[in-house]
Amino acid sequence: MPYIAATDADRAAMLERIGAADVEELFSDIPSSARFPVLDLPPPLSEMEAMREIEALAARNLSASSSAWFLGAGAYYHFIPAVVPAIASRGEFLSAYTPYQPEVSQGTLQAIFEYQSMAAALLGMDVVNASHYDGATALAEALLMAYNAAGGAGTRDRVVLCADIHPEYKEVIRSYLSAYSARVDEIDLPPEGAAALADASTFCVVAPYPGFSGAIGDLAAAAAATHAAGALLVVQADPIMCGLLKSPGELGADIVAAEGQALGNPMCFGGPFLGMMGAKAGLVRKLPGRLVGQAKDAAGRRGFVLTLTAREQHIRREKAVSNICSNQGLAMLQACVYLAAMGRSGLRAVAELCWNKSHYAASLIAGIPGFAVRADRFFKEFLVETPIPAEDLAAKLSRRGVVPGLPLSRYYPERKRELLVCVTEMCTRGQIELLAASLEEASR
């Protein structure tokens, strides 16, 4: 279908054919009170005027690149090499979706296959699917997967959920599970402590790596305790951190979900993001989402196919492993190009920069009178106790172009004097020192 609007002549011909005087008459059955109101809009602008107006609006944005940016909490400011948008925006990839006639889109399938392969190596999983909407929905799907793997309704019905997970992720989990006979038991302990509370009614333990607070728990101990109870360990991971520390799979996770925005995707206004999800081989038939496999044609040539599709809704209908998942083709492609461009050593370099810079920032902040860093083991994000309300600090610092982090009161109104600070490779030494100096000055 061409994207060309009907002309006046087209409309007149159609109206004449159906015997209507004008377009308004087509809506005459709808009471006028229920009709769309007349919009009080200004007259149309020329292209030049429209650009000027949009640029003026855009100039009012606070952008990470023009600030000293220490805000994370789910959306992360990482460097995106120019090769990422250059390749991802090529015309050959101009489809935002997994194809329904896959064989004709070998390039798209190859990109998905390469993404799956690199993501599986990064997360320590045997198989990773073609992606989900975002990290939160991928995590919720991972819980449903564990629920179904345990036998579904009437079997194990308890989730042990570590409390130190992004509050919005927990809301998504509760929404998804509300339609199932599953109980969410939120435990305010590190992963190893929460997993020790898994019992014979528990189908999975959900552990963050790292937590919303930035804290990194003992996943190996959590895995041992979870498996001893006969449950599955579901881990929500930071893919950049997996470039430096052991992967969740190596530490014993059965299913891993992750937010993949940090891999070559801009923060935008919180989306579109990239839900990553993978599992160990024994669970592959319970894994939702599309899977691309490598195959050979009759002449022995390499090709790519959608595989294990009997899990999916176009075949299994209501018994499909998921009827709510989708694939984020463009965000996945950006992550694929990013991972290929960075390679193992490049990703490790990014992760080391995050680690070193965040620990430098933490050491400076810990030295400011009245401030304390509340973290033992962290990667790029850490909680800071502040002498005055964190919201006041953030407001004061934003006036000088420093975005110091997330005041926790946004999610936990009673936690007024806590600030979640994130330091990535993008933060310069000068910015880190400016942050520390500004915090000290603003708290006096």
Partner 1 sequence: MKIDPECRYRSTHEYARKDGSEIVVGISDHAQEALGDIVFVEMVEVGKTVAQGEAVGVVESVKAASDIYAPMSGTIKALNTALQGDPSLVNKDCYGAGWLLRMSPSKPAEWESLLDPAAYEKETGKD
| CB closer to partner 1 out of 321 and 335 | 321
Which strand (E) or helix (H) includes residue 441?
Answer: helix 429-443
Rounded to a whole number of angstroms, the minimum distance from the CB of residue 142 to partner 1 is 20
DSSP, collapsed to helix, strand or coil, labels residue 97 as coil
Report, in Å, the least distance between residue 316 CB and partner 1: 6
Q: Which stretch binds partner 1 (CB under 8 A): 180-188, 200-208, 250-258, 311-319?
A: 311-319
Rounded CA gap, 308 and 239, in Å? Answer: 26
Rounded CA-CA distance 365/206 in Å is 31
Size of the residue set binding partner 1 (CB under 8 A): 6
Instruction: Name residue, tokens 């915090």.
Output: 439
Tokens of 21: 């005087």
| Edge-to-edge strands, sheet with 406-407 | 372-373, 381-385, 418-422, 406-407
Query: Among 312-320, 339-347, 407-415, 422-430, which window interacts with partner 1 (CB under 8 A)?
Result: 312-320
Q: Which CB sits closer to partner 1, 126 or 376?
A: 126
Q: Are 252 and 224 in contact (CB under 8 A)?
A: yes
Give the nearer residue to partner 1 in terms of CB position, either 127 or 332. 127
State in angstroms the smallest separation of the CB of 112 from partner 1.
Answer: 20
Tell the smallest beta-carbon distance from residue 151 to partner 1 (Å). 8
Q: Which is nearer to partner 1, 319 or 429 (CB)?
A: 319
Per DSSP bridges, beta strands 381-385 and 372-373 are antiparallel
Residue 95 or residue 155: which is nearer to partner 1 going by CB?
155
To partner 1, the closest distance from the beta carbon of 216 in angstroms equals 37
Interface positions, 318-337, toward partner 1 (CB under 8 A): 319
d(CA 425, CA 354): 5
Q: Is 316 in the site for partner 1 (CB under 8 A)?
A: yes
Cβ at position 407, least distance to partner 1 in Å: 49
In the set 23, 153, 315, 437, which binds partner 1 (CB under 8 A)? 315
Shortest approach of partner 1 to residue 149 CB, angstroms? 11
Minimum distance from residue 309 beta carbon to partner 1 (Å) = 9
- Minimum distance from CB of 327 to partner 1 (Å)? 20
- Least spacing, CB of residue 298 vs partner 1, in Å: 15
Q: Name the packing angle between helices 390-398 and 429-443 (round to 10°).
A: 120
Under rule CB under 8 A, residue 297 binds partner 1: no
In the chain, % helix, strand, coil (3-state, to 5) comes to 40, 15, 40
Name which of 20 and 315 has its Cβ closer to partner 1. Answer: 315
> Whole-number minimum distance, CB 63 to partner 1, in Å?
49
Neighbours of 206 (CB within 10 A): 32
Cβ-based nearer residue to partner 1, 36 or 100: 100
Local structure of residue 262 (DSSP, 8 states): T
Q: Which of 11, 90, 183, 285 binds partner 1 (CB under 8 A)?
A: 285
DSSP per position, 285-345: GG--S--EEEEE-TTS-EEEEE--GGGSHHHHGGGSS-SS----HHHHHHHHHHHHHHHHH
- Annotate each residue in 106-145 with x if it binds partner 1 (CB under 8 A) or - if it does not, as one string: ----------------------------------------
The Cα–Cα gap between 439 and 372 comes to 12
Looking at beta carbons only, is 11 or 319 nearer to partner 1? 319
- In the complex with partner 1, which residue's Cβ is closer, 220 or 320? 320
Q: Residue 191: which residues within 8 A CB-CB, separation 6 or more?
A: 162, 205, 207, 208, 209, 217, 218, 219, 221, 222
Whichever of 45 and 315 has its CB closer to partner 1, that residue is 315
Least distance in angstroms from the C-beta of 232 to partner 1: 17
Candidate ranges 19-27, 161-169, 307-315, 323-331; the one touching partner 1 (CB under 8 A): 307-315
Token match 């992360």: residue?
Answer: 76
Q: Which of 35/319 has CB closer to partner 1?
A: 319
Polymer length of the chain: 444
Backbone dihedral region for residue 421 (phi beyond 0: left; psi -120 to 50: alpha; all else: beta): beta
Please say whether the dihedral angle defined by the alpha carbons of residues 411, 183, 254 and 196, taken in this order, is positive or negative. Answer: positive
* The only residue of 310, 356, 429, 437 in contact with partner 1, by rule CB under 8 A: 310
Give me the residue label for tokens 């992967």: 247
Task: Give 285 or 348: the residue with its C-beta nearer to partner 1.
Answer: 285
User: Which stretches of the chain bind partner 1, using CB under 8 A?
Assistant: 285, 310-311, 315-316, 319
